[in-house]
Amino acid sequence: MVVEREAFLREVQKKFEEKLRENEISLLEYWKERLDRLSSMKPEGIASLQLEIKGISVMMANRIKVLKRKKE
């Protein structure tokens, strides 16, 4: 009985870690794509580049707020 429980817990932990890893990869791919798009831009000047960086920063801040709200 204890062996079965330990095997079950190991399996659940393995699935959890796998899902966590997949989510992290997905998140990094999304932000990498955003930064790649930003780096390939041909901005008119520094102001437009700063505006794009600020937009990405605001998106990240909003996402952080949403995730923190879900925890509560």
pLDDT, tens digit, for every residue of 18-69?
999 999 899 889 888 988 888 887 777 888 888 888 988 998 899 888 888 8
Question: Does the pLDDT of residue 71 top 70, yes or no?
Answer: no
Tell if the pTM clears 0.85, that is, is over it: no
Q: Are 52 and 38 in contact (CB under 8 A)?
A: yes
More confident residue, 12 or 36: 12
Give the pLDDT of residue 39: 81
Give the start-to-end residue ranges of the domains of the chain.
2-71
Give the pLDDT of residue 47: 85
What does the alpha-carbon distance between residue 32 and residue 50 come to, in Å, rounded to a whole number? Answer: 17
